[in-house]
Every structure is written in C-alpha cells, then in structure tokens.
Structure 1
Amino acid sequence: MLTQRQLFLQHNAQTTLEPLLLEFNKANGMYLYDSQGKKYMDLIAGIGVSNVGHCHPAVVAAVQEQAASYMHIMVYGEFVQSPQVNFAKALADVLPSNLNCTYFVNSGTEAVEGAMKLAKRYTNRSEIIACYNSYHGSTQGALSLMGNEEFKQAYRPLLPGISFIHYGALPDLNLITSKTAAVFVETIQGEAGIRVADQAYFEALRKKCTDTGALLVFDEIQCGFGRTGKMFGFEHFNIVPDILLLAKGIGGGMPIGAFISSREIMISLATNPILGHITTFGGHPVSCAAGLATLQTILNEDIVAGVTEKGLLFKKLLKHPAIKEVRGIGLMMGIVFENFDINKKVIDACIKDGLISDWFLHCSNAMRVVPPLIITESEIEWACSIILKNVEAIA
C-alpha cells in the first residue's frame, strides 16, 4: 500500500523537484503536528496567513456555523449574503473613509488582477508601473507585475504596458506620468527579503500619483491585518492608497482576497460593460465568516498592540557574527546571512529541531520570520535559541 508521501508525489502537481515532504495532520495556535506526533513551531504562519494562529476557536466556530447555514448559492455580486455584507462593513469601519467598498475574491493574486482591471477601467489608461523585486502573485497579469525576470521569462509574452521602478528610489518616481493608470507597490516588500522604504518616499509617491491622476495601489497581501504593528502597513507613513489589496491573513486560514477602493472608483466595474469583473467563488460565505471572525479576534484581543515589542525582542535576541542583519518591521522580518548555502543549512537544521521557516523568492540569503501574531515572549526566546544554536553549528 502506498504511503501518503508516495501518493502525494504520484498524484499531486509539484511546484519544485524537492518538496519538504513534511506530513502534518493537525495544527493549533503556534504549532503544527506531523503524522508521527512531532510538534513544530510555525515561524512563517503558512506564509503570512495564520495571523491569529492555526484553528483559532472563534474562526473555527464561525466556519462551522456558516457552513451549517449555507455555502455557495450564487456568483459574487447578485445576492445579498450577510457574511459578505458584514465583513465588508467591518473592513470599512477600520479603514480610511475613501476605502469603503470591497470586492471579495479568492486569493491575493486575484485581488491584483481585479485591481489592474479596475485601474484601467477607471482611468481609461493602460500603463501600469510596479517595482523591481516585487511579488504580486503568479497568474498571468500578476506575474507581469513581478519585478524578477527569473520567475517570468519562461512564460512570456506577458501583459504589455508594464514598467518598473526601484522601490524606495525617489528619482524613479519621475517615470509616473499622465499616461499611468496605476502604480502597484508593496507597502513593505515581502519576497525581496523584507524591505521598508522611508516616509519621504511614500509621501513623494502619493503626491506624484495625485498630481498625474495615477491610482496608487498598495499591496498589503503579506503585511496587512496587524503584521507590522499597525492594522495596515500604510498607517506607518500617514498616507492612504486609492486601492488596497488584502488576502493571506484576513481569512484566519480560509481562502479569501479583496481589493478595496472608494464607491466612486469601484462602481466603474459595473457599467460599460456590465459585469466588468466576475468571480464564482469570490466572497465565499464561509471564507467571509472566517474573515469577520479573524478581524473581530484581532480587535477584541488587542493582538496588534504587542506586535512591535515582539519584533523588537526577536531583533534583540538574534545577535551573532554570522547574522548580518535582522531586517523588517513588527513581526515581518528577514534574518540575513552571507549566502544562500548558510541560510538553507540553518533552515533545514531548524526544521529538524521543530522550527519551521523558509527563505524569500527574491532574497535567498534571508530567513523568513513571520510567525502568528499570537506568539508569546517565551516562544520567541525558544525560537531564537534554536536559530542561534544552528547558526553557531553551521556558520
């Protein structure tokens, strides 16, 4: 009889030729449990998804209650479904007043696709600008915005009319003109190894977009919902985008994404032609119920309040000559080593010791640290001790 791992390799499409092949059958809070009962601390939250921890009781209860009432009943946008309505209203309540209208989709990359169409439709322009070393998803449109040729070259031709600027570089903002429909920027660059531009850059970016009529789109798919120490990353810079992209952490583990804008901008998808953007499963009732429960949990338990201090504790403890830098903000960090070889050996050794991490697509010499926001001080101390033990042994 074939094992689950053998069946996985035989019947599941592979994304690499060397998958980790860790087999988990339970997750709770900060921890994953494999088929042998071994416990692992999840230091990457399913790549920024499980902000409130795995299987948070409030999220599980919301999923169970909604699944027992109804699941899919109609494509998005036609029927009034209370899980969608309630989650959209709750998002509007915690966002600036111009971000009051939400279009729910299934994932981050779909949020990017929808926002690209929205920007073109509203502005009647075709040029889109993104950043080098950006990551916005893997579908054809989102891939066109990716600022790393290595991951794109096999799939050309991609969308025309895409230009790139350097994240954080003020001179590059001159490339934004009256022909630009939108500028897509990760508020904090994720797959570039956690890069944070300064206040002056974001103020100049906002002004340039306003002056040229280009829409400013902030991709907060990784950094949203409290990960940076504020509910949304743009709050660190006192500016507001025209369109906000969310996914990953907003669903508490359920698949959901969203692009959010003003009613005035968003309504342009409804006419000339009608059904300018459609999705069958977007805003799935169970996912929206989970999203609302996740947001309420973050607010009710005041989870964001401790994020900055937790991030600073990681930085305080992770001191070693082989660690070149601990880069990032809040609980969105990268531990920088000399090269990928050292990083990979440290990551592999940590996994053997029951600590899950990985590296970044565009920055292979940095180790990802994006744990569930519920991580405690003692858990941070344990995680850092495991990392330092293996760095000492390897580097």
Structure 2
Amino acid sequence: MNRVELVSGFFRHLAQTSSSPMAMVVSEATGSIIRDAEGRDHIDLLAGMGVAATGHRHPKVVARIEEQLGRHLHVMVYGEMIQETQVALAQGLASLLPATLDSVYFTNSGTEAVEGALKLARKARGRNRLMAFHGAFHGDTLGAVSVGGNPHYRDPFEPLLPDVGFLAMDDRDGLAAIDDSVAAVIVEPVQAEAGVIIPSPGFLAALRERCSETGSLLIFDEVITGLGRTGTMFAFEREQVVPDLLVLAKALGGGLPLGAFIASRDLMASLCQDPELGHVTTFGGHPLSAAAGLAALEVIIEEQLAERAETAGAHFEERLTALLSGPCLETVRRRGLLLGLVMDSAARTQAFVKQCRAERLVLGWTLHDDRVLRLAPPLVITEAELEESALRMQRALARVS
C-alpha cells in the first residue's frame, strides 16, 4: 500500500484510542531511530513506551527470534508443555532476583500480569480488599483499572472491583489504613504516568514493613521500571525492599508481547490448586516472545545497560536542564533513563510536544499529568543521539516561548 492508502486504512478500519494519534507511517526502525514513509529519521525518546530497551531490532534479539522460528511456534496452552525458551528465560530472571521471587508466570502483557497478581493475592490471602496509590497506572483491563489512581479513567467504567482503597504517595501516616482485611497493596516504585513521581527515601521500606505487619502482600508493578530502566536491574533494588510479587512487561519481551508476574513457589501454588487450572492463558510466554526476551535479558546484562541508564540519564538531565532552563521548564525529574520534564502549563506542554515532533523526536506527555513530558529512550541510545535530541528540544522550546 502507498502512504495515502495506509493513512486511510488506519483511520477507517483500526479502532482509535484518541482523537489525535501521532499517525506517523513507519517504514522501519533500528536502534533508537524510527524511519517514516518519506525516509525521514526520527529519534525515539519513548522506546515504544519502554518496550525497546535494547533498541529496535537488536541483532541478537532478531537472531534468537529467527532461530526459534526454525523450531516451533505455539504448540500448547501455557504451562502444559516444556518449552526451552520459557524455561531459560524464567531461570534467567530468577537468577537475578531474591530467593523469594523464584516462580515466574508468563503472560501476554503488563495489564494481564497485573490481573494475575491481584487474583493470586486475593486467593492466597483469602481476603478481598486491595489498596493502591493515587496517580497510579496499572493497565486498562477491569481489574487493573480498579486499582488505577486516576478517577478520570476509572469512573466511566464503574462498577469495578469492590473494596479498593487508595493511599497517597509519601504519606507514612496513611499507611495505617493497611490492615488485616487487605489482601495486597500494589505500587509502582516510580509512578511513570503520574509524571515520573519518585517516592521519598524510606517510604517504600515503610510500606514493606506495614504490609509485613498485617500479612498483606506487597506487589511491585515494574512494567516500566524493570530491567534496567531506572539505573538498576529492578527499581526495588535502590530501596533494598523486596516485594512479595513482582510484575514485569514491556522491555521483558525484547520488542515482542510478553509480561510476567513473579512470586515464591509456595505463593504461586495457590493458582494451580483448589481448583486446578484456576488461572490459565493460551498465548502467555509465546515461544517467540520468550526467545526475544531471553536475548534481550542477555543484552541488558552483557552491555551493562542498567549502569548505562544511570550515567547516560544523568548526562541527559544535565544537558536538558542547561539548554531548556527558563520560565517554561519548572524542573526535571529523573530515575535512570526515565525522565519527566515538568512544564509551567498543560498548554505549553502540548505546544512543546508538537514542536518536538516537528523536530523529528518521538515523545509525548504523561497520561495523568498533562504538564509533564516523559522521556524513556532505548537504553542503547548513543551520547550523540541524546545530545542531538537536547538541541532539537532547545529549538522546539524556543519556538514555543
């Protein structure tokens, strides 16, 4: 199809998620660059919302996918047949995690992994109540929306899961609301969609302590922050807080759809008894996705991308602060290569994003705070690409100002 036919088909036959999609016609993508149908290169500062942590089409990931294509695709519903790529990836993840996180349940996406974690928590604890945080985003299925912290996206779909309460980030006194009726508390160690909100040191430890006191399970949603994004392999490592359940996705699949929730073997056993097959998925841990995920995990480790996220992120923050300083930019929030640029108004942010896209930068504002521009580039992005991005953003902001 030519470009006109593609654009027409996109708007006519693909369900839309907003009234103003980017609508770039993608020709190809490699590393940190997305090329459009006109042959123009765009620097990707979102990595497909954190998916392309190892870059688009990393050679090692592509090779592993091609190798798996020569062996088999889907052969049976998840959990019934032993497939090498699933076993190898689960072992690889477990080797990087505390001993209490040694059982991996693969899913198709992050929101499905959240659903599994919530379901496991309620069954294992025999309690109904769940707690989450204001500003949180955990996905768009009904259970995930139920623990989402923005009423704007929650209210239109009520009634949702009953008996869900919300806490305020950094309010230690508010943790008293967690009692022995609570099955689980779910939290993002960095709230990305809320505007890259980073908890104060010690808050997550206090949350861990309260959950332990009440027998409530602690779920860390690291769909965005996991696998090197925040400067450590997992964000919980910074606070030395170990959750009872860990949720991963996005970067986990190396560019293919893959999610997971991880717990202890004893805890996970709740899902396969009373009744058996109490939680199943057809395509979770698809062999192609698992193969890509295994290669991506090896790349993250071998190329030390978590460490690079911290050093490159710090330099990028420094350059952005220097080049964009002025009344329009209030502050820059950062954890690793996850940054939030807080602008002085939503209107300014939207205008800035428009001008940045004209500069051929792929970026956008956060879902729950339209004053915040979020940046989450591939962890393999080069220093030259980060410098060029900062210069393009400087030009874009000059036009907005």
Q: TM-score, normalised by structure 2?
A: 0.97
2:249 to 247, 254, 271: 247
Partner in structure 1 of residue 126 of structure 2: 124
Give the number of equivalent residue pairs: 395
- Offset at 1:12? 0.4
Partner of 1:260, secondary structure, is: strand
Deviation at 1:223, TM superposition (A): 0.5
Query: Conserved in 1, the CA contact under 8 Å of 2:45 and 2:363?
Result: yes
> How do 1:9-158 and structure 2 match up within 5 A?
9-158=11-160
> Which amino acid letter does the alignment assign opposite residue 171 of structure 1?
D
For 1:123-272, what aligned pairs fall within 5 Å after superposition? Answer: 123-272=125-274
SS of 1:192's partner is coil
Q: Does residue 392 of the first structure (1) align with residue 371 of the second (2)? A: no
CA distance in 1, matches of 2:79, 2:38: 45
Output the CA distance in 1 between the equivalents of 2:142 and 2:307.
Answer: 38
In the alignment, residue 237 of structure 1 is paired with which amino acid? E
- 3-state secondary structure, aligned to 1:69: coil
Shift of 1:351: 1.0
Q: How many angstroms does 1:300 deviate by? A: 1.2
CA–CA distance in structure 1, aligned partners of residues 171 and 297 of structure 2: 34
Q: Where does residue 342 of structure 2 map in the other structure?
A: 336
The DSSP-based 3-state class of the residue aligned with 1:26 is: strand
Cα distance in 1 for residues equivalent to 2:154 and 2:88: 38
1:383 lines up with 2:389 in the alignment: yes
What CA distance in whole angstroms lies between the structure 1 residues aligned with 2:103 and 2:55? Answer: 28
Post-superposition shift, 1:158? 0.7
Letter in 2 for 1:87: L
Once the 2 structures are TM-superposed, how far is the Cα of residue 341 of structure 1 from its aligned partner? 1.0
Of 306, 309, 315, which aligns to 2:308? 306
Give me the whole-angstrom Cα distance separating, in 2, the residues matched to 1:127 and 1:156.
Answer: 17
- Corresponding residue for 1:365? 371
Q: Cα offset for 1:199?
A: 2.4
AA aligned opposite 2:215: G
Alpha-carbon offset, residue 146 of structure 1: 0.5
Identity of aligned residues (%): 42
Shift of residue 160, structure 1, vs aligned partner: 0.3
Alpha-carbon deviation of 1:50? 0.4
SS at the partner of 1:199? coil
Cα displacement (A) at 1:306: 1.6
Deviation at 1:275, TM superposition (A): 0.8
Residue 276 (structure 1) aligns with:
278
Kindly provide the amino acid, as one letter, of the partner of residue 354 in structure 1: R
Following the alignment from structure 1 to structure 2, what is the Cα–Cα distance between the partners of residues 388 and 224? 30
Residues 31-63 of structure 1, C-alpha deviation per residue, up to 9 Å, x if partnerless?
Answer: 000011010000010001100000000111111
Q: What is the rounded CA distance, in whole Å, between the counterparts of 2:334 and 2:342 in structure 1?
A: 11
Question: Counterpart of 1:32 in 2: which secondary structure?
Answer: strand
1:356 to 348, 354, 362: 362
Partners of 2:390 and 2:50 in 1: CA distance: 19
Q: Distance in 1 between matches of 2:305 and 2:156?
A: 42
Root-mean-square deviation (CA), in Å? 1.0
Q: Secondary structure at the match of 1:228?
A: coil
**Which secondary structure state, in structure 2, belongs to the residue aligned with residue 74 of structure 1?**
coil
Structure 1, gaps ≥5 residues long: none
Counterpart Cα distance in 1 of 2:186 and 2:290: 25
Cα shift readout 1:176-229 (whole Å, capped 9, x = no counterpart): 000100000001111000011122211110100001000000000001000000
SS of the aligned residue for 2:278 comes to coil
Please, what TM-score do these two structures have when normalized by structure 1? 0.99
